Each structure stands twice: as structure tokens, then as C-alpha cells.
Chains A and B, each alone.
Chain A
Amino acid sequence: MIPELGHYALVLALALGLVQSVAPVIGARRGDAVLMRLANSTALMQFVFVALSFLALTICYVTSDFSVRTVVENSNSMMPVIYKISSVWGNHEGSMLLWVLILSLFGAAVALFGGNLPASLKANALAVQSWIACAFYLFILLTSNPFLRLFPAPAQGQSLNPILQDPGLAVHPPLLYLGYVGFSMAFSFAIAALIEGRIDAAWARWVRPWTLAAWMCLTLGIAGGSYWAYYTLGWGGFWFWDPVENASLMPWLAGTALLHTAVVMEKRNALKIWTILLAILTFSLSLIGTFLVRSGVLTSVHSFANDPRRGVFILAILVLFIGGSLTLFAWRASVLKQGGLFAPISREGALVFNNLFLTTSCLTVLVGTLYPLALESLTGTKITVGGPFFNLTFGPLFLTLMFAMPFGPLLAWKRGDILGAAQRLMAAFGVGLVAVGVAFAIEGGTSLLAPFGVGLAFYVMVGALVDIAERTGLLRMPLATVRARAAGMPRSAWGTAVAHFGIAMTLLGIVGAAAWGTERIIEIKPSQTVSLSGYELRYEGLKQMPGPNYTEEVGTFTVHKGGVPVGVMHPSKRSFASRDMTTNEAALMARGPGQLYLSLGDSKPDGSIAIRLYYKPMVLLIWLGGVVMMLGGALSLSDRRLRVGAPKPAAKPALQPAE
């Protein structure tokens, strides 16, 4: 009964979605307030029905209802409850349901909190949001119904893929989807603006908080996914340039560009057409990401069981929305009025530079991701485009951007003084150069690239601090003035500095772990020791331990540094009988911002066991940097000007009385 209710709730959501796709647009055309307001209730009810549907599916999983096919394929009554819940979205059907749940959540949020939006803009945006929702409801109902029954029902399910039986699954996909799908708001508002043919600074002020919230979730989702891959795959890598990872990186890059260009539009009423285009492109990249992951063109841990019909359906959605929105853009963009002027050297100019480099680096990722697919489908030749390609293309572009990053906030709007900015960045240049020298000396002069990366990271970090010091008058003014200025400084300025500091932390972590990480892969017998970067690990032995739905081989290693004990590490391997699979649980020991990383390989009858041991200095900064970036976004989101709401848009010409 419950699966049918869930299925039915989803059909009702589709029906509401179809109404919401049409009625508000007609209302906005005719100026009919009733039809426009209709979108509010339908958006809220869509969310209620999708949530009911999701709840029904969750109940099926928690109660292990093995008459439902997806439950049989992905769950098992022996699994702990947290994994029963997270396996709801640990498969294709359920993850698509999560996708539409989040989409309808954003729609409902606009209906609830969009009280200060102009009625027609709100109505049109909700209608566009509903077009997307309907496409995905149809996709789920026609090709990926999670509520299909199975008869006769088996006694036990096949269990979730053991690699996914990790707390990471509870957090990573929902956050990632909040980001991915959150960009649909910017898209819907952009399309609504094109339909209305008018756009102003107020538009940017409404759209920016939604984009910022989505961007924060995506940042955290990517960082979390990277850390999950790092500790669960057992070989200590944190980013593999896997197409599925690129699929989340591309919307992040475009979304970051959108955040920056929306500031220009809000403050200076310029770059309107570009902002609209970027809003469309960002969500298009989210759709491309969904297509890559869900259609089955790629094989990875993310692509669950595949069915060619699904790929064709998602491709159709992709063509319809990307093609349709770009056509609308080409047709209507010229209607939008041009904005204010600015000199090339100015805050606006710096943000254009930022956008140019972010979109170009995003383009190189897109080429590297799609080229192998295109080549294979056209010629049948199979190639792999991996790390080296992206290091040579994405790397230089992104590092150039980071070099320019501290200049942006120091330039004035309209006309800036680049020499003045460079002078104020002297401290940052100095610290950066010292860092290069120190890193070069410590490394022993083997390579220039890593010291250069360290120097760049320190330069950006100090540059972010210089920005704050300049704004508060630190070192120039009496302390009381500084305190008053710091308190009066807009939160968005703090947010900028914090987020820029965060990306520099990530860079420092990547350089440190990649350039100065050490590793040993050896076989070891009980009571033997292995040493790495000053640490001595003694292998004490291996123990069998039972788990809830697996058995575990846990190794014990005592760690000493310079003769002083610093702790014990317990790497393990878990064997899952339900799937005849083992997973690797690496042991991690934080040493400052660095980590010792230990994972187990095969054991031999003579008692020896293969181990992988890594020492990764500064590695934690990679993900901490992501968290700091997210906090920067949060600070910016709490800015007063976003809380008090958008100003009234430029006055419309008075309505002419009907003849």
C-alpha cells in the first residue's frame, strides 16, 4: 500500500506541476493576479507531495519491504538503519527522487520567502521551475519508477554496494544535489527575466542569495566527496579527474563566476546579458552533469545499473532545456538594456577577468570530459584523459586567476589604480617570496613548481588579510577606530576575504600533499617495523572482528616518532557476504595539518600482510579550505543588504488606462 501511495503522490505532483507550468505564465501576460498567485500554492503542494513520495520510499527501505524492486536490489534487512535510509538515494531511482525533492524544495522556498518579488517575475520564475520539475517527474515515472513491485517477493535483499556503506553517503549526495539543483533558481529567474524582457540591479539582489546558498552546498559537497574518496578507496588520492568528479566541478566553476558577476550587476547595473547567459550555462552544466552520471555513458561507482532508454530521455531533457534556453537568450537578449560603463582597470574589470578565467578553465574541463566520449562514439577509438591533461590545461589558467585574485577587492569601482593596489599588496608579495625561498630550501632545490605553489598560496592568504587591514585601517589608525570600522564593515566584504583565504588553503594542501607526500608499499610481518618520514610503525597483528553485516580484519600498528609513542592505528578490511566483496577502511592519524594514512592489502598464509603507508603533509588543508570557503559564503549570505530584502525595482512607467 505504501509504495502505491508514494507513486500516486508523485503523479499528483506531476499534475500540479503541469498546472504550474502554464497558468502563471498566462497570468503574468494578462496581469491576472489570481492566476499568478496560483503558482504559490502549487509550488508548496508540489513540495508536499514529492516529500510524501520520498517519505513513502524511505519507509519501504527502513521496513525492508522486499516486494519493492529497488529495495531488493539495494537494501538488506541486516544493514544498520542509517545505511537503510541512505540507500534510498544510493541507487539510480532513489537519487532521481532526491533530485526532484530538492528541486521542489527550492520552488516552495521561492513561494514562501519571495514575498518582495514583483508578482510577474515570481510567477514566471515558478513556472520555469515547474517545467524542469515536470520533465524530471516524467523521467522518473516513465523510466525509473522506484516503487515498482516484484512478485514473488524475495526473503532477503541484495544489500547496498559495500563501498557506499559509509556515513559519506548520508551527507555527500544531498549536499551535492542542493548545490546542483539549487542553480536551477538562477536559471529560472534568468528565463523569467528573458520572458519579461527586463532586468535590473534588483534582479541580481534576489538571485544572488539563492546562488550563494547553492554554491555553499556544492562547495561542501565536493569537498566532502573528495575526503570520502580519499579515505575509502585506499590509495590516498583526493581527486582523480574522473568524469563524474568533473561533472560536479564544472557547475562549481560556472557558479563561482556567476556569484562574482552578479555583484557587478547588483552594484553597477552592468554585465546584464553576460550574467543571464552565465545563469543559463551554470544550470546547463548541472544538467550535463546529471546526464553524464545518470545516462550510463560513463562507468564508475556513481553509475548504478543502466538502461539505454534513460540515457535517451535525459539527453532529450538536456537538448530541450539547454537548446531552448539558449534560443530564447539569442532571441531576447538584445531587449535587455545596457548597463553602466567602466574602465578596464577597475573592480568591474577585475571581475570580468575572474569570469574570463573561470569560464575558460571550466571549458577546458568540459573538453577533457567530453572529448573521449565524442571520440569514442565517432571513431570507436578509446582514450583516457586523466590528471596530466588537466594539470597542463586547467592548472595554468586557474593559477593565473589566483595570482590576480588579491587585486580585485583592492581596486575601486569604475576606475581603479593597479599600481596603488600592487603597492598595498607589497606585504603579500614579500611573504609569498619568503615562502618560495623557505620551501625551496627545505625541499633541497629539486623542483621549482612546488615552492612556487606554496608562495602563491601564502601570497593569496596574506592578500586576503591585506584587504581586511586596508578596509579597517589596521596599523594606520587607532585601535578603537579599527574596531569600529571592523564592526561596520559589510559582512560580504568579510565573506570575500574569508573565501579567498579558503581557496589559498586548498591550494597549499594540494601542493603539500602532492609534492612532499611520501609513501611506502611493502609486506610486513607481525612485530616488524616500517619507518616513513621520521615515523616508525610496528605491526602488532591482525584480529577478526564481527560487524553488523560484515566481518572485519583489523590490523594494529603502534606509531612512534623519535622513540616517543604517538598513538595506535587500526586499518581494516571488511568482507561483505551479501555481495562477496571487501572494502578497505584506511586508518588516518592527524599530525598537525598533515596525516599518516595506512591501508591494508592482501595477507599471506605466513602471517605477512601488504600495506600502503603514506605521510601527507598539509593534506587536511585541502578540505578545511573548502569548509572555510563555505563559511565565507555564509558570511556573505548573512550580509545586511540581503537580509533586509531587495529594493524596489526601478519605477515602471505608469500603466495606461485601458481605452
Chain B
Amino acid sequence: MTRKQRRLILIGASLGVLGIALALVLSAMSSSIVFFQSPTDVATEHLAPGTRIRIGGLVKPGSVERGADLRISFKVTDGKNDVPVHYQGIVPDLFREGQGVVAEGKLEPGGMFTADTVLAKHDERYMPKEVVDALKKSGRWQEGAEQAAKGAMR
């Protein structure tokens, strides 16, 4: 086998594997990607019920209700709009009223959001980036608020 033939086989095989990988990536992109929406997006964009999305914002103070069997419902707000969320399970340690939260799940026909995952912040110092952006979009984010909070702790 000559060098040229060998090289052709190699290039052919590489292109083949890359092609397969590309096909896998494209098909996975269309089926398994989750979009992030702020409560205002949910209110204004009329998403089809049943779509899997992520929402983020603050847990609206006074909205948390705990039921039997670890059911919990609360509202996620960006200051302009609220989304009511249902969840069954244990919420993270840093899940608190007035704090940032990200929830992943499905939008029900009545506008209720059923979450199967609830994420809170890793640390009391930082806000999830998605939440900051959602709040900035609705105009409720004050630059420097985090810094001020940090300074107060010293």
C-alpha cells in the first residue's frame, strides 16, 4: 500500500467519524437543549405548554407555601412579572425568600410551571448569572448592590 493510498484511507476515516459526530451533535441540539426564560419572557412570549425551559429570578417574598409530601409552591419574580412554580422534593439549602433561584421544568397549560429541578446559589455572595441578567432586563438590578452587601459584611 502506498503512502498516498494510506493517507486517503486516513482522511476518509477521519471525515467519516467527524460526519457521524456532526450528525449526532445536530440531532442532540434539536432535541435536548433547554432555553432560559425570565418571568417577563414567559408572560409575553406565549410559549407552547409542555416545552422544557429554565426560568430564573427571585423567590417572591411571602409566596412560599409548603404542603404535605414535600410539595412546595412559590413564585419566581423579576419585579415585573411572576411565574407560579410547583415542585415536589427537597429544595437546596440556599433556597430562601427574596433570593435568586433557577428552576427547570415544564410550563403547564394554565401558566403554572412544574419544576423537576430547583437550583439556588452556590454561595451567599453570588447571584446566578442568569438571574442577574433577567433582573437587569426588567430594570430591577442595581449595579453595585452586591458590592454594597459585601462591604456591609466586613
Selected from A344, A360, A584, the residue in CB contact (under 8 A) with B9 is A344
Cα distance, A363 to B21, chains bound together (Å): 9
* Residues in A whose Cβ lies below 8 Å from that of B17: 356-357, 360, 397
Interface contact B1-A305, CB-CB below 8 Å: no
* Residues in B whose Cβ lies below 8 Å from that of A344: 1, 6, 9
* Residues in B whose Cβ lies below 8 Å from that of A363: 18, 21
Interface contact A154-B94, CB-CB below 8 Å: no
Q: A336 CB to closest chain B CB, in angstroms?
A: 15
B-side residues, CB < 8 A to A, are 1, 3, 6, 9-10, 13-14, 17-18, 20-21, 24-25, 27-29, 31-36, 54, 69-70, 89-91, 93-94, 104, 122-126, 128-130, 133, 153-154
If A383-B33, A521-B70 touch, does A393 touch B28 (CB 8 Å cutoff)?
A: yes
Interface contact B33-A393, CB-CB below 8 Å: no
Closest residue of chain A to B137, judged by CB? A380
Q: Is A381 located at the chain interface by the 8 A CB criterion?
A: yes
Cα distance, A522 to B89, chains bound together (Å): 8
Selected from A161, A384, A522, the residue in CB contact (under 8 A) with B70 is A522
Choose the segment among A106-114, A206-214, A574-582 that binds chain B (4+ C-beta atoms closer than 8 Å).
Answer: A574-582
Interface contact B36-A382, CB-CB below 8 Å: yes
Interface contact B10-A523, CB-CB below 8 Å: no
Cα distance, A357 to B154, chains bound together (Å): 52
Selected from A158, A341, A393, the residue in CB contact (under 8 A) with B1 is A341
Q: A571 CB to closest chain B CB, in angstroms?
A: 12
Interface contact B90-A389, CB-CB below 8 Å: no
Interface contact A392-B31, CB-CB below 8 Å: yes
Interface contact A392-B124, CB-CB below 8 Å: no
25 contacts between A and B (CB under 8 A): A72-B154, A158-B154, A163-B122, A234-B93, A299-B126, A344-B9, A352-B13, A361-B21, A382-B35, A382-B36, A382-B130, A383-B36, A385-B32, A385-B33, A388-B28, A392-B24, A393-B21, A397-B24, A521-B70, A521-B90, A522-B69, A523-B70, A579-B123, A581-B124, A584-B93
If A299-B129, A383-B36 touch, does A602 touch B90 (CB 8 Å cutoff)?
A: yes
* Residues in A whose Cβ lies below 8 Å from that of B32: 385-386, 388-389, 392
* Residues in A whose Cβ lies below 8 Å from that of B25: 364, 367-368, 393
If A300-B122, A356-B13, A521-B70 touch, does A389 touch B33 (CB 8 Å cutoff)?
A: yes
What DSSP secondary structure best describes chain A's contact surface?
Answer: mixed
Q: B12 CB to closest chain A CB, in angstroms?
A: 10
If A299-B126, A581-B124 touch, does A397 touch B21 (CB 8 Å cutoff)?
A: yes
Which 9 pairs from chain A and chain B are nearest by CB?
A: A382-B36, A388-B32, A601-B90, A392-B28, A299-B129, A301-B122, A384-B34, A393-B24, A582-B93
Closest residue of chain B to A367, judged by CB? B25
Interface contact B90-A301, CB-CB below 8 Å: no
Interface contact B24-A364, CB-CB below 8 Å: yes
Closest residue of chain B to A357, judged by CB? B17
Q: B27 CB to closest chain A CB, in angstroms?
A: 7
Residue interface bits A386-421, CB-to-B below 8 A is 1, else 0: 101100110011000000000000000000000000
Interface contact A581-B90, CB-CB below 8 Å: no
* Residues in A whose Cβ lies below 8 Å from that of B1: 341, 343-344
Q: A6 CB to closest chain B CB, in angstroms?
A: 23
Q: A651 CB to closest chain B CB, in angstroms?
A: 25
* Residues in B whose Cβ lies below 8 Å from that of A582: 93
* Residues in B whose Cβ lies below 8 Å from that of A573: 93
* Residues in A whose Cβ lies below 8 Å from that of B154: 72, 154, 158
Cα distance, A579 to B124, chains bound together (Å): 7
Q: A382-B130, A383-B35, A392-B24 are in contact. List 12 more A-B contacts (CB 8 A).
A: A72-B154, A163-B122, A338-B3, A342-B6, A371-B29, A384-B33, A384-B54, A392-B32, A393-B28, A601-B70, A601-B90, A601-B91
Closest residue of chain A to B129, judged by CB? A299
Q: A366 CB to closest chain B CB, in angstroms?
A: 10
Cα distance, A353 to B17, chains bound together (Å): 10
* Residues in A whose Cβ lies below 8 Å from that of B24: 364, 392-393, 396-397
Q: Is A570 located at the chain interface by the 8 A CB criterion?
A: no
* Residues in B whose Cβ lies below 8 Å from that of A601: 70, 90-91
Q: How large is the interface on A (under 10, 10 to 19, 20 to 34, 35 or more residues)?
A: 35 or more
Closest residue of chain A to B127, judged by CB? A299
Cα distance, A84 to B68, chains bound together (Å): 43
Cα distance, A396 to B22, chains bound together (Å): 12
Interface contact A610-B104, CB-CB below 8 Å: no
Closest residue of chain B to A582, judged by CB? B93
* Residues in A whose Cβ lies below 8 Å from that of B133: 382
* Residues in B whose Cβ lies below 8 Å from that of A357: 17
Residue interface bits A282-303, CB-to-B below 8 A is 1, else 0: 0000000000000000011100
Q: Is A551 located at the chain interface by the 8 A CB criterion?
A: no
If A392-B32, A581-B94 touch, does A364 touch B21 (CB 8 Å cutoff)?
A: yes
Q: Is A612 located at the chain interface by the 8 A CB criterion?
A: yes
Q: B129 CB to closest chain A CB, in angstroms?
A: 4
Q: Is A583 located at the chain interface by the 8 A CB criterion?
A: yes
* Residues in B whose Cβ lies below 8 Å from that of A342: 6
Closest residue of chain A to B13, judged by CB? A356
* Residues in A whose Cβ lies below 8 Å from that of B123: 161, 163, 301, 579, 581
Interface contact A158-B153, CB-CB below 8 Å: yes
Residue interface bits A548-575, CB-to-B below 8 A is 1, else 0: 0000000000000000000000000100
Selected from A367, A386, A521, A583, the residue in CB contact (under 8 A) with B89 is A521
Interface contact B18-A352, CB-CB below 8 Å: no
Q: A217 CB to closest chain B CB, in angstroms?
A: 26
